C-alpha cells in the first residue's frame, strides 16, 4: 500500500511539474526579448537549484522555469545537486533535462543526454530509475538518430545490416559502425557508438603485422572502456582496403548479399547472388577467407575475382553441403562443373575502408 502511495505521489508531482513547464514554454517571450536577458551567474543558477526544494510552490515553479531557460550552463550543477535533492526536486530536475532533450536544439540535447546518462548511474535509486527510463524511451528515436548523425559527422559510417534483419524477421534496425582512417572523433567519439541500441559490430582499421589500431585517435584503453560498458559488442578489424559487399548469412559460401552503392564492387559490376570462388587465382572458401585476402591489400590495388553467377538455389545448397572442410573430391568436381558453365572473371580496384563513396 505504501508503495502504491509512493508511486502515485511521484506521478502527481511529475504531472504537475510537466504541466506547469508546458504552460511556461507556451508562454515563452519572443526570441528578441530573450536575447536581451543577461546570462545568469553560477551563484544564481545554484540558488534556483536550491529553490527546487523551497517550501513555497511558486518559488519551485519559478526556479524550474529559470533553469529551463538557462540551458546547458545549468547541466553540471543539476547533476551535482541531484543526489541530495528531495523527491519533488528530483522530479523537477528530470523534467528540466527532458525538456532540453526533446527540444530539438543541438546546444541543449547533447548536455541533457550527457547529464541523464550520468544520473542513470546515480546512487539515488529514484533518480537512476527515472533517468534510465528516459534513455530507454528515446533509444530508437532521439538517442539513436543523434548517435548516427554524430558518428557520420566525425568521419565514421553507420550501415544497416539488411541480411541479418531479414534473417531475424524483424523491422527493428541493426547496424554496424565503421571507423576508418577518416575518423576524427578519437576515443571521445566512442560515446556515440555506446548510444546505439541496435549495434551489431564495430569495425576498426589496424596494421596486420603489428596488430596495432590504425583508426586515428582510437586507443586500446578507449576501446577497452567501451567494451566494458558493452560486453556484447563485437569488435572486428580490417586493413585499409575494402570491396563493399555483405555476405549472405544463409550459406557458408562467399555469396554476395548486398553491394554498397558506388563501392568498388558496384563499380566493377558484381551482382547480388554472385558466389566468389577465387581471389587472384587463390580459392575462396568463405567470406572470412575473402576478408583475409583483402587485409593484405591497399586502396588502389587491382584484384582479380572469379565468381559463379546465376547459379540456382539447389546448386548452391549442394555445393555448400559438399565443400567441407576438408573439401572433398566430389565438391571440387562439382564446383568445376559450375565454374565451366557459370564462371565469370572480374577485375576490381579496391578503395579505402571507411572512406565516403565518391559521388
Count other C-beta atoms under 10 Å from residue 302's C-beta. Answer: 12
Domain match, 94 and 40 both? yes
What's CA 61's distance to the chain center, in Å? 37
Where is the domain boundary, 203, 238, 273? 238
- Would the pLDDT of 23 be above 80? no
Interval 238-259 mean pLDDT? 90
Domain match, 214 and 252 both? no
148 assigned to some structural domain: no
For 253-291, what is each residue's pLDDT tens digit?
Answer: 999 999 999 999 999 999 999 999 999 999 998 999 999
For residue 214, give the nearest of 301, 298, 152, 111 by alpha carbon: 298
Grade residue 6 by pLDDT with cuts at 50, 70 and 90.
very low
Domain match, 250 and 229 both? no
Handedness of CA 179, 350, 286, 168 (dihedral sign): positive
Question: CA-CA distance, 133 to 101, in Å (whole number)?
Answer: 13
As to burial, measured by CB atoms within 10 angstroms (0-12 exposed, 13-18 middle, 19+ buried), residue 260 is middle
199 versus 12: the higher-pLDDT residue is 199
Whole-model pTM: value is: 0.78
- Would the pLDDT of 21 be above 80? no
33 versus 45: the higher-pLDDT residue is 45
23 versus 266: the higher-pLDDT residue is 266
Query: What is the biggest distance separating any 2 CA atoms in the chain, rounded to whole angstroms?
Result: 87
- Would the pLDDT of 9 be above 50? no
72 assigned to some structural domain: yes
- Range scoring the smallest mean pLDDT among 6-15, 118-127, 128-137, 269-278: 6-15
Residue 246 · residue 163 · CB < 8 Å: yes
Domain match, 188 and 314 both? no
The mean of the pLDDT values for the chain is 87
Grid cell locating 213: 589500431
**Roughly what angle, to the nearest 10 degrees, separates helices 106-119 and 125-137?**
130
Total domain count for the chain?
A: 3
Residue 147 · residue 196 · CB < 8 Å: yes
222 assigned to some structural domain: yes
Grade residue 248 by pLDDT with cuts at 50, 70 and 90.
confident
At residue 71, the pLDDT reads 96
Domain match, 212 and 254 both? no
Where is the domain boundary, 187, 206, 238? 238
At residue 2, the pLDDT reads 43
Grade residue 173 by pLDDT with cuts at 50, 70 and 90.
confident
Interval 18-46 mean pLDDT? 61
Count other C-beta atoms under 10 Å from residue 240's C-beta. Answer: 22
Q: Parallel, antiparallel, or unpaired: how do β-strands 199-205 and 343-349 relate?
A: unpaired
Interval 119-136 mean pLDDT? 92
Percentage of the residues of the chain whose pLDDT score is greater than 90: 67
At residue 31, the pLDDT reads 47
Give the chain's end-to-end CA distance (angstroms, integer). 64
Domain match, 12 and 132 both? yes
348 assigned to some structural domain: yes
65 assigned to some structural domain: yes
- Mean pLDDT is highest, among 109-118, 200-209, 323-332, for 109-118
Interval 291-314 mean pLDDT? 94
- Would the pLDDT of 15 be above 50? no
For 144-157, what is each residue's pLDDT tens digit?
Answer: 999 999 999 999 99
Domain match, 158 and 132 both? no
At residue 5, the pLDDT reads 42
3-state secondary structure of 7: helix
Element holding 121 (H helix, E strand): none
143 assigned to some structural domain: no
Where is the domain boundary, 238, 268, 286? 238
197 assigned to some structural domain: yes
Domain match, 176 and 268 both? no
230 assigned to some structural domain: yes
- Would the pLDDT of 359 be above 80? no
Domain match, 334 and 258 both? yes
Instruction: State the CATH number of the domain containing residue 338.
Output: 2.30.42.10
- Would the pLDDT of 238 be above 60? yes
At residue 10, the pLDDT reads 45
For residue 293, give the nearest of 308, 275, 276, 279 by alpha carbon: 279
At residue 3, the pLDDT reads 41
Grade residue 30 by pLDDT with cuts at 50, 70 and 90.
very low
Range of the domain at 78: 2-138
At residue 16, the pLDDT reads 47
Domain match, 134 and 62 both? yes
Domain match, 132 and 86 both? yes
Question: CA-CA distance, 222 to 331, in Å (whole number)?
Answer: 46
- Would the pLDDT of 1 be above 90? no
Domain match, 114 and 206 both? no
At residue 353, the pLDDT reads 81
For 310-324, what is each residue's pLDDT tens digit?
Answer: 999 999 888 888 876
Quick one: residue 169, left, alpha or beta (phi over 0 = left, psi -120 to 50 = alpha)? left
Amino acid at each position: 500500500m505504501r508503495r502504491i502511495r509512493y508511486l502515485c505521489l511521484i506521478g502527481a508531482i511529475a504531472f504537475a511539474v510537466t504541466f506547469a513547464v508546458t504552460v511556461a514554454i507556451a508562454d515563452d517571450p519572443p526570441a528578441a526579448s530573450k536575447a536581451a536577458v543577461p546570462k545568469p551567474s553560477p551563484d544564481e543558477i545554484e540558488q534556483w537549484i536550491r529553490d527546487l526544494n523551497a517550501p513555497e510552490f511558486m518559488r519551485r515553479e519559478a526556479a524550474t522555469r529559470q533553469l529551463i531557460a538557462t540551458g546547458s550552463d545549468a547541466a553540471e550543477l543539476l547533476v551535482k545537486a541531484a543526489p541530495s535533492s528531495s523527491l519533488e526536486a528530483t522530479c523537477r530536475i528530470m523534467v528540466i533535462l527532458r525538456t532540453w532533450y526533446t527540444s530539438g536544439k543541438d546546444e541543449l540535447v547533447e548536455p541533457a543526454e550527457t547529464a541523464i546518462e550520468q544520473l542513470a548511474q546515480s546512487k539515488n535509486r529514484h533518480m537512476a530509475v527515472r533517468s534510465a527510463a528516459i534513455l530507454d524511451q528515446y533509444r530508437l528515436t532521439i538517442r539513436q538518430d543523434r548517435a548516427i548523425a554524430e558518428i557520420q559527422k566525425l568521419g565514421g559510417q553507420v550501415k544497416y545490416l539488411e541480411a541479418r534483419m531479414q534473417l531475424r524477421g524483424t523491422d527493428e534496425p541493426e547496424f554496424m559502425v565503421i571507423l576508418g582512417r577518416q575518423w576524427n572523433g578519437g576515443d571521445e567519439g566512442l560515446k556515440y557508438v555506446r548510444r546505439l541500441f541496435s549495434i551489431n559490430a564495430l569495425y576498426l582499421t589496424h596494421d596486420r603485422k603489428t596488430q596495432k589500431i590504425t583508426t586515428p585517435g582510437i586507443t586500446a584503453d578507449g576501446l577497452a572502456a567501451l567494451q566494458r560498458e558493452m560486453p556484447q559488442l563485437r569488435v572486428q578489424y580490417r586493413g585499409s582496403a575494402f570491396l563493399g559487399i555483405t555476405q549472405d548469412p544463409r550459406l557458408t559460401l562467399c555469396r554476395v548479399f548486398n553491394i554498397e552503392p558506388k563501392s568498388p564492387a558496384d563499380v566493377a559490376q558484381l551482382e547480388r547472388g554472385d558466389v566468389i570462388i577465387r581471389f587472384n587465382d587463390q580459392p575462396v572458401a568463405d567470406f572470412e577467407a575473402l576478408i583475409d585476402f583483402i587485409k593484405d591489400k591497399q586502396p588502389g590495388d587491382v584484384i582479380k575475382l572469379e565468381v559463379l553467377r546465376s547459379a540456382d538455389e539447389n546448386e548452391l545448397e549442394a555445393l555448400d553441403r559438399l565443400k567441407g572442410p576438408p573439401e572433398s573430391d566430389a565438391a571440387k568436381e562439382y564446383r568445376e562443373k559450375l565454374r565451366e558453365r557459370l564462371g565469370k572473371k572480374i577485375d576490381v580496384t579496391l578503395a579505402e575502408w571507411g572512406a565516403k563513396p565518391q559521388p
